[in-house]
Structure 1
Protein backbone atom coordinates (compact mmCIF):
# COMPACT_ATOMS: atom_id res chain seq x y z
CA UNK A 1 0.00 0.00 0.00
CA UNK A 2 1.43 3.34 -0.97
CA UNK A 3 1.80 6.32 1.32
CA UNK A 4 -0.90 8.16 -0.64
CA UNK A 5 -3.40 5.36 0.01
CA UNK A 6 -2.62 5.40 3.72
CA UNK A 7 -3.17 9.15 3.88
CA UNK A 8 -6.50 8.83 2.08
CA UNK A 9 -7.67 6.08 4.44
CA UNK A 10 -6.55 8.14 7.43
CA UNK A 11 -8.61 11.13 6.26
CA UNK A 12 -11.62 8.94 5.51
CA UNK A 13 -11.39 7.38 8.98
CA UNK A 14 -11.27 10.85 10.55
CA UNK A 15 -14.44 11.90 8.77
CA UNK A 16 -16.26 8.64 9.55
CA UNK A 17 -15.24 8.76 13.21
CA UNK A 18 -16.66 12.27 13.52
CA UNK A 19 -19.87 11.15 11.82
CA UNK A 20 -20.34 8.14 14.09
CA UNK A 21 -19.55 10.08 17.27
CA UNK A 22 -22.06 12.81 16.53
CA UNK A 23 -24.71 10.45 15.14
CA UNK A 24 -24.54 8.12 18.14
CA UNK A 25 -24.64 10.95 20.67
CA UNK A 26 -27.55 12.62 18.86
CA UNK A 27 -29.45 9.34 18.78
CA UNK A 28 -28.78 8.83 22.49
CA UNK A 29 -30.08 12.33 23.26
CA UNK A 30 -33.13 11.74 21.09
CA UNK A 31 -34.07 8.51 22.85
CA UNK A 32 -33.32 9.63 26.39
CA UNK A 33 -35.24 12.95 26.34
CA UNK A 34 -38.81 13.85 25.46
CA UNK A 35 -37.75 17.01 23.62
CA UNK A 36 -34.41 17.04 21.83
CA UNK A 37 -31.75 18.97 23.82
CA UNK A 38 -30.10 20.78 20.94
CA UNK A 39 -27.89 22.83 23.23
CA UNK A 40 -26.30 19.67 24.68
CA UNK A 41 -25.41 18.37 21.21
CA UNK A 42 -24.07 21.76 20.15
CA UNK A 43 -21.99 22.13 23.31
CA UNK A 44 -20.60 18.62 23.05
CA UNK A 45 -19.60 19.08 19.40
CA UNK A 46 -17.95 22.44 19.92
CA UNK A 47 -16.33 21.32 23.17
CA UNK A 48 -14.84 18.19 21.63
CA UNK A 49 -13.61 20.24 18.67
CA UNK A 50 -11.86 22.67 21.01
CA UNK A 51 -10.28 19.85 23.02
CA UNK A 52 -8.96 18.10 19.91
CA UNK A 53 -7.73 21.40 18.48
CA UNK A 54 -5.78 22.16 21.67
CA UNK A 55 -4.25 18.69 21.88
CA UNK A 56 -3.54 17.83 18.25
CA UNK A 57 -3.44 21.32 16.71
CA UNK A 58 -3.73 21.21 12.89
CA UNK A 59 -3.01 17.50 12.50
CA UNK A 60 -6.68 16.60 12.98
CA UNK A 61 -8.24 19.48 11.04
CA UNK A 62 -10.44 17.17 8.94
CA UNK A 63 -11.80 15.53 12.09
CA UNK A 64 -12.54 18.90 13.67
CA UNK A 65 -14.21 20.30 10.56
CA UNK A 66 -16.25 17.13 10.06
CA UNK A 67 -17.28 17.14 13.70
CA UNK A 68 -18.61 20.68 13.47
CA UNK A 69 -20.37 20.08 10.15
CA UNK A 70 -22.05 16.88 11.35
CA UNK A 71 -23.05 18.58 14.61
CA UNK A 72 -24.84 21.28 12.63
CA UNK A 73 -26.38 18.72 10.31
CA UNK A 74 -27.77 16.57 13.13
CA UNK A 75 -29.06 19.68 14.92
CA UNK A 76 -31.11 20.44 11.82
CA UNK A 77 -32.25 16.84 11.40
CA UNK A 78 -33.50 16.35 14.95
CA UNK A 79 -34.97 19.87 15.29
CA UNK A 80 -36.56 20.10 11.86
CA UNK A 81 -40.11 20.06 13.21
CA UNK A 82 -39.46 22.76 15.82
CA UNK A 83 -37.52 25.05 13.46
CA UNK A 84 -39.87 25.10 10.49
CA UNK A 85 -43.30 24.58 12.06
Structure 2
Protein backbone atom coordinates (compact mmCIF):
# COMPACT_ATOMS: atom_id res chain seq x y z
CA UNK A 1 0.00 0.00 0.00
CA UNK A 2 2.76 2.44 0.92
CA UNK A 3 4.60 1.51 -2.27
CA UNK A 4 1.54 2.39 -4.34
CA UNK A 5 1.15 5.75 -2.60
CA UNK A 6 4.83 6.54 -2.99
CA UNK A 7 4.71 5.49 -6.63
CA UNK A 8 1.77 7.82 -7.22
CA UNK A 9 3.55 10.74 -5.56
CA UNK A 10 6.73 10.14 -7.55
CA UNK A 11 4.71 9.92 -10.79
CA UNK A 12 2.75 13.08 -9.95
CA UNK A 13 5.85 15.11 -9.04
CA UNK A 14 7.57 13.86 -12.20
CA UNK A 15 4.60 14.93 -14.32
CA UNK A 16 4.47 18.35 -12.67
CA UNK A 17 8.21 18.89 -13.20
CA UNK A 18 7.91 17.94 -16.86
CA UNK A 19 4.95 20.29 -17.31
CA UNK A 20 6.89 23.09 -15.60
CA UNK A 21 9.94 22.50 -17.80
CA UNK A 22 7.79 22.55 -20.94
CA UNK A 23 6.11 25.77 -19.79
CA UNK A 24 9.39 27.49 -18.97
CA UNK A 25 10.91 26.40 -22.27
CA UNK A 26 7.89 27.72 -24.17
CA UNK A 27 8.26 31.24 -22.73
CA UNK A 28 12.05 31.42 -22.96
CA UNK A 29 12.01 33.31 -26.27
CA UNK A 30 9.45 35.82 -25.01
CA UNK A 31 11.44 36.48 -21.84
CA UNK A 32 14.60 37.02 -23.88
CA UNK A 33 12.71 39.42 -26.16
CA UNK A 34 11.42 41.44 -23.19
CA UNK A 35 14.92 41.56 -21.74
CA UNK A 36 16.33 42.90 -25.02
CA UNK A 37 13.54 45.47 -25.30
CA UNK A 38 14.18 46.68 -21.75
CA UNK A 39 17.87 47.05 -22.51
CA UNK A 40 17.02 49.08 -25.63
CA UNK A 41 14.67 51.25 -23.56
CA UNK A 42 17.40 51.82 -21.02
CA UNK A 43 19.79 53.03 -23.75
CA UNK A 44 17.07 55.26 -25.21
CA UNK A 45 16.30 56.78 -21.82
CA UNK A 46 19.92 57.59 -21.08
CA UNK A 47 20.41 59.15 -24.50
CA UNK A 48 17.12 61.09 -24.55
CA UNK A 49 17.56 62.30 -20.97
CA UNK A 50 20.95 63.78 -21.78
CA UNK A 51 19.69 65.43 -25.00
CA UNK A 52 16.33 66.76 -23.83
CA UNK A 53 17.69 70.19 -22.78
CA UNK A 54 14.36 71.43 -21.46
CA UNK A 55 12.19 70.08 -24.30
CA UNK A 56 8.94 69.17 -22.49
CA UNK A 57 7.80 66.81 -25.26
CA UNK A 58 10.98 64.77 -24.97
CA UNK A 59 10.79 64.83 -21.17
CA UNK A 60 7.19 63.52 -21.31
CA UNK A 61 8.14 60.86 -23.80
CA UNK A 62 11.07 59.76 -21.63
CA UNK A 63 8.76 59.65 -18.61
CA UNK A 64 6.23 57.49 -20.48
CA UNK A 65 8.87 55.08 -21.76
CA UNK A 66 10.35 54.84 -18.27
CA UNK A 67 6.92 53.98 -16.80
CA UNK A 68 6.38 51.28 -19.44
CA UNK A 69 9.82 49.86 -18.71
CA UNK A 70 9.02 49.74 -14.98
CA UNK A 71 5.73 47.95 -15.66
CA UNK A 72 7.46 45.42 -17.90
CA UNK A 73 10.10 44.85 -15.25
CA UNK A 74 7.38 44.30 -12.63
CA UNK A 75 5.64 41.77 -14.89
CA UNK A 76 8.87 39.84 -15.43
CA UNK A 77 9.59 39.82 -11.68
CA UNK A 78 6.03 38.64 -10.96
CA UNK A 79 6.46 35.84 -13.48
CA UNK A 80 9.75 34.76 -11.91
CA UNK A 81 8.26 34.82 -8.41
CA UNK A 82 5.23 32.84 -9.59
CA UNK A 83 7.45 30.25 -11.29
CA UNK A 84 9.63 30.00 -8.18
CA UNK A 85 6.53 29.56 -6.01
CA UNK A 86 5.14 26.81 -8.23
CA UNK A 87 8.48 25.03 -8.20
CA UNK A 88 8.73 25.33 -4.40
CA UNK A 89 5.25 23.80 -4.07
CA UNK A 90 6.42 20.78 -6.05
CA UNK A 91 9.29 20.03 -3.70
TM-score by length of 1: 0.43
| Greater C-alpha radius of gyration | 2
